[in-house]
Amino acid sequence: YKEDDIPLDDRPEIDRWILSVLNSLIKEVDQSLNDYESTRAGRAIQEFVDEHLSNWYVRLCRRRYWKGEYTNDKIAAYQTLYTCLDTVAKLGSVIAPFFMDKLYTDLNKVTGKSKADSVHLGDFPICDPSRIDKELEQRMEIAQRISSMVLSLRKKHNIRVRQPLGRIMVPVQDEYFQSLLEKVKDLVLSEVNVKEIEFLTHTEGVLVKKIKPNFKTIGPKYGKQMKAIAQAVAEFTQADISIIENKREYELQLNGENISLDYTDFEITSEDIPGWLVASEGKLTVALDITITEQLKEEGIAREIINRIQNIRKDKGLEVTDKIELKIKAEKSINSAINNNLNYICTETLASTLEIVNELDFATSQEVEVDDEVKTLISIVKLN
């Protein structure tokens, strides 16, 4: 890119987040290499590229790259991605010298921002503490974890991501956690295609939880009393479990003796409740409402149709800004979904008109599967 760097404060939160994680990575890799821990450094770089840059940042910013106008937002997206790739090339140069040099030189050919002809002739990155925002990293990690758990529940039970769902419930142990989740709520809802998040401050009567002792941690501390502790834990109520989750500790009275246990001394899981799927990961629990109303079903069909139209656009070689005229062959099971989501379909596919017709010529249209049971024909005509 040729433009001056857009100031950090003028960039969207997603940009500030990835640059914060990037500078945390620089600090970690520098320390690892100073300690001669090249494996630890390599794994940190891999985690950054896989989990943060590729699977989260680039995916969430796709629309910013695609949009036609070259706005400051689009420039910021390109500049941020460039900075990440350039820095990764420098950080990884001592671990994968040839690949990272190729990445570095390809980037530099486009921008000419570095005078060094090789990544091995340039300076090693230096961490900028002013760009690190730990609270931002923390709340984005919460968004990533909740999204991953919900998407795993969808995949496990064969519920397509394009099918909208009504709500998820998330138990919150304290106000700070809730405040962090509130700030990324819209991001999570968009990512998992769910309409709303409900925060639970009291889970009794809503989520049924099971608890058992963690013998790996209790054994070294209370070896001889382990059997008696296990029997006591087996009698814990839902209220006892809530105390452990909220206070992160529990004082157990056993034969007149006070036994101090902390959260790591227990294994807590949640049971599915009727109409819901439940997942737990550490102290985080999510419950997903899998009831699909007629309205949600129709929106899911509309999203599937949008996907098929976008695929046809791509196959025809249309530009992302090209407007089209759209015709879809009438099918009883999808007509209502199209009519009730007409504006949404047109907006997402850049269709100036959308018409449901009784017949379409196979020669000028394309057959698509909307789902396992329904097929239809779609005709796309590019507007001049």
Q: Within 10 A of 235 (CB to CB), how many other CB atoms are there?
A: 7
Task: Report pTM.
Answer: 0.79
Q: Within 10 A of 254 (CB to CB), how many other CB atoms are there?
A: 13
Mean pLDDT of the chain: 92
Q: Give residue 142's pLDDT.
A: 95
Percent of the chain with pLDDT over 90: 68
Region 322-334: what's the mean pLDDT? 93
More confident position, 10 or 66: 10
> Which one, of 140, 180, 149, 152, lies nearest residue 52 by Cα?
140
The pLDDT tens digits of the residues spanning 339-356 come to 999 999 999 999 999 999
Please work out, in degrees rounded to the nearest 5, the angle formed at the alpha carbon of residue 144 by the alpha carbons of 141 and 145. Answer: 85
Is residue 261 within 8 A of residue 250, CB to CB? The reply is: yes
Q: Using the Cα atoms of residue 253, residue 254, residue 258 and residue 263 in order, give the sign of their dihedral.
A: negative
Q: Which residue has the tokens 């507007």?
A: 383
Q: For the purposes of burial, counting CB atoms within 10 Å of the CB of 223, is it exposed (0-12), middle (13-18) or buried (19 or more)?
A: exposed
Q: Within 10 A of 294 (CB to CB), how many other CB atoms are there?
A: 10
The pLDDT tens digits of the residues spanning 97-106 come to 999 999 999 9
Beta strands in 148-305 (DSSP E): 165-171, 194-200, 209-213, 249-254, 257-262, 266-270, 276-281, 284-289
Q: CB neighbours of 158 closer than 8 A, spacing ≥ 6?
A: none
Please work out, in degrees rounded to the nearest 5, the angle formed at the alpha carbon of residue 307 by the alpha carbons of 350 and 150. Answer: 125
Residue 281 pLDDT grade (very low, low, confident, very high; cuts 50, 70, 90): confident
Task: Decide if pLDDT at 261 tops 60.
Answer: yes
